[in-house]
Structures are given as C-alpha cells and as structure tokens.
Chains A and B, each alone.
Chain A
Amino acid sequence: MTAPDLKPSFVYVTYIAAPAEKVWRALTDGDFTRQYFFGRRMKSDWKVGAAWALLMEDGRVDSGGKVLECEPPRRLAISWRVEWLEEYRKLPEAVVTFDIEPVGEVVRLTMTQLSAPIDEKFLEGGRQGWPVIMSGLKSLLETGKPLTMPAPQPPKAKD
C-alpha cells in the first residue's frame, strides 16, 4: 500500500489501560481528538480510499490525506500531507499508521510515520508533536482528562 521509498521516520509506542475499541474511537472521532490533538478535529467516514482531514478550531485544514487501510479496532493507515504550513504543502506525502494490539489487560498503541527522503528539518515538528499527542491520548483515556499542553505555533516567517 505504501510507496517503496517511504521509511519509518518516527515510531512511538505507548501502553494504555483501555479497550481497543475505545482507543480506536479516540483516534478517529473528532470530539475525542479535539481534546488531545492540539484542539484539532479528525474528520473522515473511515472507508478505504476516503479523504480525511484534521481541522483546526477556526476550520482551517491542518493536515489531510486518504484512508489507506482501515481495520477497526486494530489498524489504521492514512496518507498525510501537512496543509497549514506553506512550505510543508509541497513535500511528498507521508504515511501514518496506528496499530492497536491487546496485551493482557491493556493495549499497545504503536504509531509510525513513514516519510520520503526529505530534509530532516521537516521531520522535527512531528518528532516533537507526536509524544505530546500520544501522552494526551493516554491521559484522556485513563483519567478522563486531557493534558493542558499549548498548541504548536507556525515557525516564524523569515522576511
């Protein structure tokens, strides 16, 4: 499903005390994502080939792409293009996958970002952001309360 030149550029593993179905919902339902994904709403009808979008609070598109694989509540793979930052828009699409595996009483959530060979500076935002997002998701599911982390700001314009 993925282009051959894509390689893992970031992997994050976390264990969450919640059923796989709930983790799936937290990843795919905008009312959940808004609470831990820097206020962003995830929107899609989650069918293979369908579009998805991550919407900012003012309605602008943060990122979007297509659903590549959708096997609730086990695996989700989506192509990913950052839309809200001009210089990211022209980059080759990345692929982001989420794998949810029950391990005893908890689930292991593995998120992987696969990227084309691009300048490392474009990968830094994701490497900083994903641990915040994944930590917030775990807190929300285990405690009912999200973390209170500030949303990322666009890089300063160089003019």
Chain B
Amino acid sequence: MTKPSFVYVTYIRTSPEKLWRALTDGSLTRQYWAGRHVESDWTVGAPVTFWFDGKMSDSGKVLECDPPRRLSYSFHVEFVEALRSEPPSRVAFEIEKLDAQVKLTVTHDEFEPGSQVFAAISGGWPVILSALKSLLETGRSIFPNSAAAHRAKAEA
C-alpha cells in the first residue's frame, strides 16, 4: 500500500508576504481556518499549536521556515479522540509569486496507509483554502462562523 498524500494548488491575488502572514498569524487563521487560532514563534523546532474555543485542536513542530516562501510543520490531531492515536503527518506550504498573484501549493503527506486523518483533511483543506483565498481577496470570511465551516467539511 502506498502512503497517501494530499496536494492542493490555489492562486490568490495577494503578495507572498500577506499570504505568509495569513498562514502564521492566529488572529488571521481564526477567520478562515474553521475558527482555529495558530500559535508558534515560527523557528525550526518550535512547537505549533492550533487553538479552538480555548482547547488545543492540533499540534506539531516547525520543520522548515523560509518566509515568505516555504513553511512546513508536523501535524498531530489532538481534538478528535478517534484520530489522536495516529502518528503526526506533515503539512508544507510553498508560495510562488506569479505576476499579480501568488501560487500556493499545500502538500499534506507522511500519513500511514489507511489513515483516517488523511480522509478528514482531504475534505477539510478545500474548505480552509477557499476561505483563505476569499479573505485575502475580499477581506471577508465566506464562512461567517466556524459552525458553517464545519458543516461544509462534514458534507464534503
């Protein structure tokens, strides 16, 4: 069995610096990342914590940090009981400037075969990345509250 990996590419009318900030600043992530507030000092080896409603939803460690081009961290689900036993996977963001927009490539890999986290994130990333694009291009959140984002993800 091959190890599953998820890749999603989106083009966003913004600058690499603004996109970097949107990925690393918790006050921004909570506006598009299903209500998650990310926290880290973004140095290699530093912890990464996602907070939701005062609880830790996911955790990891910074693996690569090259602003505003490349960021990767390990990713372990804490929030959902059934997923907590899986080993950490890996999230990587690649940012390339192209004319007046940026190309963002998200690669989420290093899953075990048959991973349930993989199934969950495959529906989740399109929701998060669509909302990120809208926030950067329009200044508005397309999912007005995290419940709406969860609903979208649950129906995906």
Contact of A15 among B12, B101, B138, B142 (CB under 8 A): B142
Chain B interface: which of A41-49, A76-84, A85-93, A104-112?
A: A104-112
Contact with A along B126-149 (1 / 0, CB 8 A): 110011011001101011100010
Interface size counted on chain A using CB atoms at 8 A:
24
Interface of B (DSSP majority class) = mixed
Contact, CB under 8 Å: A13 / B156: yes
Write out the residue numbers on chain B whose beta carbons fall within 8 Å of the beta carbon of A131. Answer: 8-11
Contact, CB under 8 Å: B9 / A149: no
- Chain B residue with the shortest CB-CB distance to A106: B142
Contact with B along A94-122 (1 / 0, CB 8 A): 00000001011110100000000000000
Contact, CB under 8 Å: A138 / B133: yes
Interface of A (DSSP majority class) = mixed
Taking the complex as formed, is B151 at the interface, i.e. its CB lies under 8 A from any CB of chain A?
yes
Contact of A104 among B8, B9, B152 (CB under 8 A): B152
Contact, CB under 8 Å: B11 / A104: no
Contact of B138 among A13, A101, A143, A149 (CB under 8 A): A143
Binding site for B on A (CB under 8 A): 13-17, 101, 103-106, 108, 131-132, 135-136, 138-139, 142-143, 145, 147-150
What are 15 A-B pairs with beta-carbon distances under 8 A?
A14-B10, A15-B127, A15-B131, A15-B152, A17-B134, A17-B140, A101-B155, A104-B143, A104-B151, A105-B142, A131-B9, A142-B134, A142-B137, A148-B99, A149-B99
Binding site for A on B (CB under 8 A): 8-13, 98-101, 126-127, 130-131, 133-134, 137-138, 140, 142-144, 148, 151-152, 155-156
Identify 11 new A-B residue pairs, CB closer than 8 A, beyond the known A15-B143, A17-B134. Answer: A13-B156, A14-B130, A103-B151, A104-B143, A104-B148, A104-B152, A108-B152, A108-B155, A138-B133, A148-B100, A148-B101
